[in-house]
Amino acid sequence: MTTGGRSGASRVDGTGSSEEHQLDLGSCDVDIDDTITLSNWPLLTGFAKLPPCVHNELKDHFIIAQELDGKTVLAAINGIMDSNAASILKGEGVLYKVPSRDKKNIAFEKSAGLLLGRGGTITYDLGTKKLKKTTGITCVLSVVHEAVSKGVTVTVRDVFYRNRDVFGSKQFTEACIYDVCCLLGCDKASLNLVSFEKGSVIGPLKLKLTNGEVASCSELSGRRIPSEKRLLEVESFDCGDAEFILVVEKQSLFHHLSQMDFHNKQRCIMVTGNGVPDIATRVFLKRLVSETKLPHYALMDPDPDGFMILCVYAYGSANLAFDISGLAVPTLRWLGLWVEDLIWAGIGVTQLKDVTPREEKMLSNLLGNKNLSRFFPRHWSVRFQDIALRGKKASFEILHSKGFDFVSKVFLPALLNKRRNNETVDRERNAVTVEKSLRNSFQKTNRKGVTKNDTDFPARSDT
């Protein structure tokens, strides 16, 4: 049994300083190999399945959202309201002390993704600067109390329109909901709140429900991914003859591949979050990966938005850093699309589009996030920097110039075979080779990021 280990988590305190977090399992009454630390513990099995010692170690340092029953949620809300009632009688007004979701309070742990530290809190009161958020939190607590009491599920859209004058926007509504989750220490599903069913899935997959019914995902247009609450009704997954899982960034590509019967021809399960994935899509993907043990790949555009979405799937998002129990999939492999893939397919660099100022800022923030970027696989960073230095981006649609069925019948099958047949290759060694090649290529790049010779680009590596 280990008495301690070095974790990959960078812990942030309320002052914004960080320190390397040490996992102490000395008092853990469970047989654990000496190599087990917080950073390599198999969190894909779900937070609830971890030994109590690891539960406590995580909860000591990070805000960990838990699944609470209705009775516990109501008791917590009643306690908060009773406290505020007493505060009002004293003339102090409404007061909420909410764990800060500021980026300075967020740490990154390699196997779990982004984590919300316990280092700081924000006090919301009836002061001028914080009145809107205080009112918003109060409205969310009121809606949640009613929904849980009556045993009904409410959409985030319903919460917004019920208090539209208070919230002003759906984004602010979600911010207030996340603050309530942090305040109560629970996930959104525990509040009986759900988002619209945004994601889709298609392939030889059957969802076995707790009531004995079976939902097939093999229809031509696929199936909407159930909301977080309804996902609790999925008892198990039957993946049939599927050989791998393919996460597709955009609905347009998902639809195109579905129409071309790609999932059947390649025997795969395709999942899309239709852009930035919602919570339900991320929970669904993590359960699917964990329970089927299938290889899982991500197919993203070579642009800053595609990179950001890739990182959300793999490492989580800052907004939901308090909920690590079923979101991040750090084992996700990046299949492509990379700039060299386009060259490989006969697309010239001069055909790429310019990166916009908004995208430049997004990419700069991504590469500048030391907590996150230091855990990127080497080949990820190389390709992020490729786009940054070139100032050029692309999308899958550019490949349609080769023919409408080129992507599904020629390009992706070849890309998959190349990648899947070389998964044992030393990725770091290949990434160094690509990096050197890119550096040579960049030396021949003009100020706009267009190479002087489209063919002077490294061949696609197997990283």
Where residue 257 sits, what CATH number does that domain have?
A: 3.40.1360.10
Asked if 38 and 8 count as a contact pair (C-beta separation under 8 A), the reply is yes
- Look up residue 276 and give its two tokens: 């930035």
Pair 186, 275 in one domain: no
Domain of 145: which CATH number? 1.10.10.10
The mean pLDDT of 316-336, rounded to a whole number, is 70
Which letter does DSSP use for residue 402 in this model?
Answer: G
The mean pLDDT of 251-268, rounded to a whole number, is 89
Asked if 431 and 415 count as a contact pair (C-beta separation under 8 A), the reply is no
107, exposed or middle or buried, with CB in 10 Å at 0-12, 13-18, 19+? buried
Pair 261, 319 in one domain: yes
* 238 vs 318: which has the higher pLDDT: 238
Instruction: Report the SS3 class of residue 381.
Output: helix
Pair 91, 188 in one domain: yes
pLDDT digits (tens, 9 = 90+) for 166-201: 888 888 888 888 888 888 888 888 888 876 667 899
Domain range enclosing 42: 5-63
Indicate if the pLDDT at residue 348 is higher than 90. Answer: no
Asked if 18 and 10 count as a contact pair (C-beta separation under 8 A), the reply is yes
In a domain, 396, yes or no: yes
Domain boundary among 18, 47, 63: 63
Indicate if the pLDDT at residue 451 is higher than 60. Answer: no
Pair 59, 74 in one domain: no
The mean pLDDT of 346-360, rounded to a whole number, is 82
Identify which of 11, 1, 18 has the alpha carbon closest to the alpha carbon of residue 114: 11
- Look up residue 39 and give its two tokens: 């950073």
pLDDT band of residue 12 (cuts 50, 70, 90) is very low
Pair 282, 417 in one domain: yes
In a domain, 140, yes or no: yes
Q: Is 185 left (phi over 0), alpha (psi -120 to 50) or beta?
A: left
> Based on the structure, what is the number of domains in the chain?
3
Q: Is 245 left (phi over 0), alpha (psi -120 to 50) or beta?
A: beta
In a domain, 433, yes or no: yes
In a domain, 161, yes or no: yes
pLDDT band of residue 108 (cuts 50, 70, 90) is low
Q: Within 370-409, where are the H helices?
A: 370-373, 378-390, 406
E strand or H helix at 427: helix 427-442
Indicate if the pLDDT at residue 71 is higher than 50. Answer: yes
Pair 38, 186 in one domain: no
Indicate if the pLDDT at residue 241 is higher than 60. Answer: yes
In a domain, 98, yes or no: yes
Looking at residue 14, its pLDDT comes to 37
Catalytic residue among 161, 178, 297, 313: 161
Looking at residue 236, its pLDDT comes to 85
pLDDT band of residue 298 (cuts 50, 70, 90) is very high
Looking at residue 25, its pLDDT comes to 32
Q: Are strands 333-336 and 353-354 parallel, antiparallel or unpaired?
A: unpaired
| Residue 321 to residue 393: CA distance in whole angstroms | 29
The answer to whether the bond into 415 is cis (omega within 30° of 0) is no
E strand or H helix at 117: strand 113-117
Indicate if the pLDDT at residue 24 is higher than 60. Answer: no
In a domain, 342, yes or no: yes
Which region among 218-227, 319-328, 342-351, 377-386 has the lowest average model confidence (pLDDT)? 319-328
Indicate if the pLDDT at residue 370 is higher than 90. Answer: no
Indicate if the pLDDT at residue 458 is higher than 80. Answer: no
| Residue 361 to residue 122: CA distance in whole angstroms | 27
The beta strand positions in 337-443, using DSSP E, are: 353-354, 392-393
* 41 vs 367: which has the higher pLDDT: 367
Asked if 185 and 172 count as a contact pair (C-beta separation under 8 A), the reply is no
pLDDT digits (tens, 9 = 90+) for 72-81: 999 999 998 8
Pair 128, 54 in one domain: no
Whole-structure pTM value: 0.57
Asked if 416 and 335 count as a contact pair (C-beta separation under 8 A), the reply is yes
Report the chain's mean pLDDT, rounded to a whole number: 72
Pair 98, 56 in one domain: no
pLDDT band of residue 220 (cuts 50, 70, 90) is confident
- Provide the angle, in degrees to the nearest 10, between the axes of the packed helices 70-89 and 170-184: 100
- Look up residue 89 and give its two tokens: 């009688």
Output phi, psi for 239, to 5 deg. -90, 5
Pair 149, 295 in one domain: no
E strand or H helix at 327: none
Looking at residue 450, its pLDDT comes to 36
Asked if 209 and 233 count as a contact pair (C-beta separation under 8 A), the reply is yes
Indicate if the pLDDT at residue 28 is higher than 60. Answer: no
Cα 134 versus chain centre, distance: 28
Looking at residue 55, its pLDDT comes to 54
Cα 234 versus chain centre, distance: 21
Identify which of 393, 396, 379 has the alpha carbon closest to the alpha carbon of residue 450: 393
Instruction: Report the SS3 class of residue 125.
Output: coil
| Residue 345 to residue 416: CA distance in whole angstroms | 14
Look at the alpha carbons of 286, 289, 295, 298 in this order and tell me if their dihedral is positive or negative: negative
Looking at residue 268, its pLDDT comes to 93
Length of the chain: 463
96 catalytic per annotation: no
The listed range with the strongest mean pLDDT (61-70, 286-295, 350-359) is: 286-295
How far is CA 141 from each of CA 129, 148, 179, 456, rounded to the nearest angstrom? 20, 10, 10, 59
Which region among 223-232, 238-247, 279-288 has the lowest average model confidence (pLDDT)? 223-232
Looking at residue 400, its pLDDT comes to 79
How far is CA 199 from each of CA 4, 112, 189, 196, rounded to the nearest angstrom? 41, 22, 17, 9
Pair 270, 328 in one domain: yes
In a domain, 202, yes or no: no
Percentage above 70 pLDDT, the chain: 67
The mean pLDDT of 293-313, rounded to a whole number, is 89
Looking at residue 247, its pLDDT comes to 95
Pair 285, 310 in one domain: yes
| Residue 307 to residue 279: CA distance in whole angstroms | 18
| Residue 132 to residue 129: CA distance in whole angstroms | 8
* 11 vs 233: which has the higher pLDDT: 233
pLDDT band of residue 105 (cuts 50, 70, 90) is low
The mean pLDDT of 423-448, rounded to a whole number, is 43
pLDDT band of residue 322 (cuts 50, 70, 90) is low
In a domain, 231, yes or no: no
Pair 59, 97 in one domain: no
